[in-house]
Every structure is written in C-alpha cells, then in structure tokens.
Amino acid sequence: MKYQLLKTLNLCSKICIFLIFSSNFCFSNSIDYILISKSKRELSIIKKDKIIETFTVSLGFEPIGKKTKQGDGKTPEGLYYIEEKVSNSAFFLALKISYPNPWDIRQAITRGHHPGGQIMIHGVPNKNFDKNYHNIRNDWTDGCIAINNSQMKFLWNKTDIGIPVLIKK
C-alpha cells in the first residue's frame, strides 16, 4: 500500500512539474508587433495595444522617402514581418525584415531596378565600430534600422519570427 501511494504521489508531482513548465510556454513573452516611425526616429515595441518600450533609431544614410532600389540608402516603408533572427551577422544581433514584399518588387521592376534586400533591425557593428559615427545622431546604415546593443538584446529576447513590423514615414 505504501509503495502504491508513493508511486501515485511521484506521478502527481511529475504532472504538476510538467504543468508548471508547460504553462510558461503557453504564455509567450513575445511582443505583438514593432512600429517604426522614420520621421520621429523611433522604434516602439507593442504588446496588447500598449507601447512597452521605445528606442531612438538610426536609419539609412538617405532616410527621406521610400526605398525604391538597391543601394539608395533608404529605409523601406510598409508592412513587413520578422523573417529571421540572425546571431552571426556583421552586427551585434539582427532581426531580418521581410523586405522586399511583392509590392516593393513590382515597383522596383517597373522602374527597371533591383529592389535590394537584407534589411534588418540590428545593433552596432562587431568590427570597426566608431562611436563618433555609429550612434543615434547619425543615419549610418545602408537602409536598416539600428539601435544600441543593449536595446537590441532586449528586442531580440521579446521577438519571435513572424512578428509584424510596420515602418511608416
């Protein structure tokens, strides 16, 4: 009888431990979406219709206007999503954005251009970092959105692949 009771308690404790750990996976720590305002130079992290954090950003070296072709130095505008989490890029960490979308491709081809790609939200460069150049007072990327490394780590930990990204003027 004692053995049966001990076996039942052991099973119950295993079930309780499983439920505790699995409940943590059911309630995601992930955010709902990322909103980037180019004119304000801000990236806002949104969860349950509330801004949980806002960061000042650096944009492409020609930030005004929509990205229309590869090499124009512009940050795109539109609705995208996080396509990939890149831990081995030239920057601290990077979240690859799904640019170009079908609309971007059609617009570039209509004009006889390549739309470009590899647009990311990222930290500062891993090599040749220059604090006088790679900072929020400068738009220094090739069209990406840059934040500092501590902000990037925070965003990285809150973001899952597939999270929407709205980049507006």
For residue range 90-134, what is the model confidence (pLDDT) as tens digits?
Answer: 889 999 999 999 999 999 999 999 999 999 999 998 888 788 888
In contact, 67 and 104? CB cutoff 8 Å: yes
Number of domains in the chain: 1
Q: Which of 85, 74, 86 is nearest to 115 (CA)?
A: 74
Q: Indicate whether 5 belongs to any domain.
A: no
Per the listing, tokens 């996080």 go with 82
Distance between CA 164 and CA 80 in Å, rounded? 6
State the Cα–Cα distance between residues 104 and 137, nearest whole angstrom: 28
The enclosing domain of 105 has a CATH number of 2.40.440.10
pTM of the entire structure? 0.80
